[in-house]
Amino acid sequence: MPFLKFLYILWGMLNYNELKPGIVFVWKDEPWLVLEYQFLRMQQRKPVARTKIRNLKNGKVLDQTFHYGDSFEEAEITRRSVKYLYNNRGQYWFSDIDNPANRFSLGEDTVGNTGKFIKENTEVTIIEFDENVIGVELPIKVELSVKEAPPSIKGGTASGGTKPVILETGMSVNVPMFISTGDIVRVNTQTGEYVERTEKAK
């Protein structure tokens, strides 16, 4: 075993070529989640790791290249399920699953864009780092009902143009022309884009 790798294991550190998707590490004193990873061997140069990483505090996504010799502390984060209750004046209120009387709120700076996709009285996951809540985690895709929509066009297809609609959370999203008020649609929480209709309004 190379001596440098031995030291990384001894100190509980991550080598630059261990930043695989799903790993959470500390960089610039903040926790980052690895979304994509590519290990490249360069001719007559030391190999590099090209990554796409997301800041778990503010949601910022970066394309970042790390080099031979770079090492990182693996972030100790915890996840726990809570119930989202409601949003009032920029404060998102939650309660513990096992103890509904224990309520707490998170500001918009912590919840971030995730707040656009959360339905009231649904279970979500919060992420904690250094005993502080740093974010709210949702599945990549969620289903939401269409609250307001311009009149649909019969025979409209996904390639026949789009229109903006308002979802039950208040979020606006562009959808195909055939989507109507009351339809249930699937939305990508990472891109904020329409994916498909899962249920037609009755």
Q: Name the DSSP class of 8.
A: H
Element (H, E) at 10: helix 3-11
* All residues at 6 or more sequence positions from 87 whose CB lies less than 8 Å from its CB, including other chains: 93, 115
pLDDT tens, per residue, the chain with 202 residues: 444 444 444 446 888 888 988 888 999 989 998 989 999 887 778 889 999 998 887 778 899 999 988 989 888 888 999 999 999 988 999 999 999 999 999 998 888 888 899 999 999 999 888 888 888 888 889 999 999 999 876 655 545 689 999 999 999 999 999 999 999 999 999 889 999 999 998 8
Residue located via tokens 């498909």: 196
Residue located via tokens 């969620």: 142
Instruction: Answer yes or no: are the C-beta atoms of 197 and 184 closer than 8 Å.
Output: yes
The CATH H-level (homologous superfamily) assignment of domain 141-199 is Nucleic acid-binding proteins (2.40.50.140)
pLDDT at 9: 41
Structure tokens at 124: 């979500």
pLDDT at 123: 93
Domain spans in the chain, listed from the N-terminal domain onward? 3-74, 77-137, 141-199
Q: Do domains 77-137 and 141-199 have the same CATH topology?
A: yes
pLDDT at 146: 96
CB-facing half-sphere around the CA of 28: CA atoms within 13 A: 7
pLDDT at 6: 42
Query: Which class is domain 77-137?
Result: mainly beta
Query: Which class is domain 3-74?
Result: mainly beta
